[in-house]
Structure 1
Amino acid sequence: MLPSHTHSPHLLTLTLTPCRTPIYICAFTGCNRLFPNRDRLMFHRKRDHESEDTSAIVTWNE
C-alpha cells in the first residue's frame, strides 16, 4: 500500500517529451552512464576515465 501522502489531490505530475528531458550519455566503450547535464558527464569523465575528451557523448539536447 502507498503512503497516505501519495494519494493527495494536490500532487503535481509533469510528463516530459524526449526533447525536454536532458540526458547525456557517456559513450566510452563499456560505460554508457546517464547524466542530467554536460557538466556532470564531464566531471564523471575526469574522475572515472581520467579524460577530458568531449567526444563519444550521446545527447539530443544540443
Structure 2
Amino acid sequence: EEMTDDQRQELIKELGDVLWYIANLATEFNISLDDLADRNIQKLLSRKDRGVLHGSGDNR
C-alpha cells in the first residue's frame, strides 16, 4: 500500500527527529556518523555472511 503525500511528509518530520537525536548522541560520545554508519554496515554484512540476518534484534 502506498503512503499518501501527507503521510510521507509526517514520516520525513519524524525521521528528521530521530536523526537529530542520533547525531546529538554521537556527538556527546565523540562518535562520528561516518564511523557509526560504517560499523553498522559491517555488522549487517557479517550477519548476512553468517546467515543470521533474520531481524529478531538480538545480539548475533
TM norm structure 2: 0.30
Considering only CA atoms, is the larger Rg found in Structure 1 or Structure 2?
1
User: Normalized per residue, which structure has more strand?
Assistant: 1
Relative contact order (C-alpha < 8 Å, sep 6+): which is higher?
1
